[in-house]
Amino acid sequence: MDPGQAGLDYARQLDSKDKLRHLRDHFHIPTKAELSQTTLHASTPSRPGQDEPSTYLCGNSLGLQPKLTQKYMQQYLSTWATKGVYGHFKEVEDSELAPWLHVDDDCVPAMAKIVGAMESEVAVMQTLTANLHFMMASFYRPSKERHKIILEGKAFPSDHYAVESHIRHHNLDPTTSMVLLESFKPESSILETSHILSIIDAHASETALLLLPGIQFYTGQLFDINTITAHAQSKGITVGWDLAHAVGNVPLSLHDWNVDFAVWCTYKYLNCGPGSIGGCFVHERHGRVDEHPPSTPGGEPTFDYTPRLSGWWGSSKSSRFAMTNRFHPIPGAGGFQLSNPSVADTTALRASLDVFKQTDMSKLREKSLRLTAYLQTWLDVLAKELEGRLGRKCFGIITPRDAEQRGAQISVLLDDGLLDAVMESLEEDGIVVDERKPSVIRVAPAPLYNNHEDVFRFIEAFRSALNHALTEKESKESVMGNGGRGEKGWSEIK
Ligand SMILES: Cc1ncc(COP(=O)(O)O)c(C=O)c1O
pLDDT tens per residue, range 150-164: 999 999 999 999 999
Count Cα atoms within 13 angstroms, Cβ side, for 351. Answer: 30
Q: What confidence tier does 4 reach under pLDDT thresholds 50, 70, 90? A: confident
Position 162, amino acid: A
Binding site membership of 62 for ligand 1 (Cβ less than 6 Å): no
- Per-residue pLDDT of 302-328, as tens digits, reads 999 999 999 999 999 888 888 888 999
Residue 238 alpha carbon to ligand 1 centre in Å: 21
Domains and CATH numbers, the chain: 3-53+361-476+489-493 (3.90.1150.10), 102-289+331-355 (3.40.640.10)
pLDDT of 489 reads 59
Pocket test for ligand 1, best of 154, 156, 223 (most atoms within 8 A of CB): 156
Binding site membership of 265 for ligand 1 (Cβ less than 6 Å): yes
The minimum-distance atom of ligand 1 relative to the CA of 131 is 11
Region 241-266: mean pLDDT is 98
Residue 21 alpha carbon to ligand 1 centre in Å: 29
CB 242 within 8 A of CB 159: yes
Binding site membership of 436 for ligand 1 (Cβ less than 6 Å): no
Binding site membership of 218 for ligand 1 (Cβ less than 6 Å): no
The minimum-distance atom of ligand 1 relative to the CA of 129 is 11
- Per-residue pLDDT of 69-107, as tens digits, reads 999 999 999 999 999 999 999 999 999 999 999 999 999
Region 267-293: mean pLDDT is 97
Residue 395, strand partner residues? 414
Residue 138 alpha carbon to ligand 1 centre in Å: 20
Residue 27, strand partner residues? 66
To the nearest 5 percent, what fractions of the chain are helix, strand and coil? Answer: 45, 15, 40
The minimum-distance atom of ligand 1 relative to the CA of 128 is 11
Q: Count Cβ atoms below 10 Å from residue 293 Cβ, excluding itself.
A: 8
- Minimum CA distance residue for ligand 1 atom 10: 128
Q: Count Cβ atoms below 10 Å from residue 431 Cβ, excluding itself.
A: 25
Residue 156 alpha carbon to ligand 1 centre in Å: 7
Q: Exposed, middle or buried by CB within 10 Å (0-12, 13-18, 19+), for 197?
A: middle
**Of 59, 94, 121, nearest to 451 (Cα)?**
59
Rounded to an integer, what distance in angstroms lies between the CA atom of residue 338 and that of residue 126?
8
Residue 129 alpha carbon to ligand 1 centre in Å: 7
**Of 260, 279, 353, nearest to 128 (Cα)?**
279
Binding site membership of 127 for ligand 1 (Cβ less than 6 Å): yes
Residue 242 alpha carbon to ligand 1 centre in Å: 8
Position 127, amino acid: T
Residue 28, strand partner residues? 65
Residue 444, strand partner residues? 58
- Minimum CA distance residue for ligand 1 atom 16: 244
pLDDT of 85 reads 98
Q: Does position 484 have pLDDT exceeding 50, yes or no?
A: no
Binding site for pyridoxal 5'-phosphate, by residue number, is 128-129, 156-159, 242, 245, 267, 312, 340
**Of 355, 345, 336, nearest to 263 (Cα)?**
336
Rounded to an integer, what distance in angstroms lies between the CA atom of residue 156 and that of residue 48?
40
Rounded to an integer, what distance in angstroms lies between the CA atom of residue 461 and that of residue 468?
10
Q: What confidence tier does 494 reach under pLDDT thresholds 50, 70, 90? A: very low
The minimum-distance atom of ligand 1 relative to the CA of 61 is 14
Residue 265 alpha carbon to ligand 1 centre in Å: 7
In the 8-state DSSP scheme, what is residue 329? B
Q: What confidence tier does 482 reach under pLDDT thresholds 50, 70, 90? A: low
Rounded to an integer, what distance in angstroms lies between the CA atom of residue 400 and that of residue 190?
7
Q: Count Cβ atoms below 10 Å from residue 168 Cβ, excluding itself.
A: 12
Region 341-355: mean pLDDT is 98
Q: Which residues have CB under 8 Å from 131's CB, separation 6+? A: 125, 263, 278, 279, 280
Q: Does position 195 have pLDDT exceeding 60, yes or no?
A: yes
Phi, psi values for residue 152, rounded to 5°: -75, 150
Binding site membership of 159 for ligand 1 (Cβ less than 6 Å): yes
- Minimum CA distance residue for ligand 1 atom 3: 156
Q: Does position 277 have pLDDT exceeding 90, yes or no?
A: yes
Omega within 30 of 0 (cis) for the link into 53: no
Binding site, by residue number, is 128-129, 156-159, 242, 245, 267, 312, 340
Rounded to an integer, what distance in angstroms lies between the CA atom of residue 411 and that of residue 488?
16
Rounded to an integer, what distance in angstroms lies between the CA atom of residue 454 and that of residue 466?
18
